[in-house]
Amino acid sequence: MLTIETGGASIPALGLGIFRMNNEQVARIVPAALEAGFRHFDTAQIYGNEAVLGDALQASGISRNDFFLTTKVWVDNYTPERFARSVEESLEKLKLDYVDLLLLHWPGDTVPMSQQIEWLDAVKDTGKTRHIGVSNQNIAQMRESARLSTAPIVTNQVELHPYLNQSALFAAARDLGIPLTAYYGMADGKVVHDPVLQEIGRRHGKTAAQVTLRWLLQQGAIVLSKTSTPERLQENIAIFDFVLSDTELAQIAALVRPDGRLVSPAGLAPAWD
């Protein structure tokens, strides 16, 4: 598995996200993902499935040093009383002493970034997370977070797929040395039906989904794949044996749409770049 080195962290470049998975799905998919070769798992407090993920990892018998786990602090816990305690509750559910990466889930519009980063740094100082990062931040917020934090910000996890132009965010992240982590890479299922992606896939003997995941990797992103179907795991992980040409990368970049953004909840999302 390719890894991304960032801020002292070594993150498997392809992970399994368990957003919108119920407990039964998580319990079924995690053992299959481990068998397929996945070692990076991404959850969040708001997903409601930290506990079943922890159960599945513990039951697998996998060594703690052999997997990388990310969770996120939900905005309701952005208070002096609740932030650190919410992380302790996540660890109890996950049955872990620490997570590998702890993220601020959304910027929100009520708590100053300086306060959010102060709390995040404080958790890092306790050893309950090895690394810290952010999610759903625009360029200004990402720069502010990097400036304020005493520990490296190792990623900004954001919506990334062929229909959303994130070139400005990519450029700013590269300048800061912060890799982006891609969620919604399949654009909520739209990419699998895209004729351009399908044609590129035919040239390589790959699916449109595999082409999309490879496109994200080749831009230097950490990629979160998602499936609740064990059979699909082998497809998602088989993206390290081909390379997209510059022409193909340009074809995919041309798929950008003005209305490409899919995730922008009021009160949580920033003013996007």
pLDDT value at residue 128: 98
* Dihedral sign computed on CA atoms, order 179, 219, 260, 195: negative
> What per-residue confidence (pLDDT) applies to 228?
87
Give whole-number Cα distances, 106 to 40, 157, 221, in Å.
Answer: 21, 10, 19
Tell me what pLDDT residue 96 has: 98
Question: Mean pLDDT, consecutive 10-residue segments, the chain of 273 residues?
Answer: 95 97 96 97 98 98 97 98 98 98 97 98 98 98 98 98 98 98 97 98 98 97 94 94 98 97 98 97
pLDDT recorded at residue 222: 98
Catalytic residue of the set 47, 78, 98, 183: 47
Read out DSSP for 142-206?
HHHHHHH-SS-EEEEEEE--TTS--HHHHHHHHHHT--EEEESTTTTTGGGG-HHHHHHHHHHT-
pTM of the model: 0.97
47 belongs to the catalytic site: yes
Domains of the chain: 10-253 (3.20.20.100)
Beta strands in 25-66 (DSSP E): 40-42
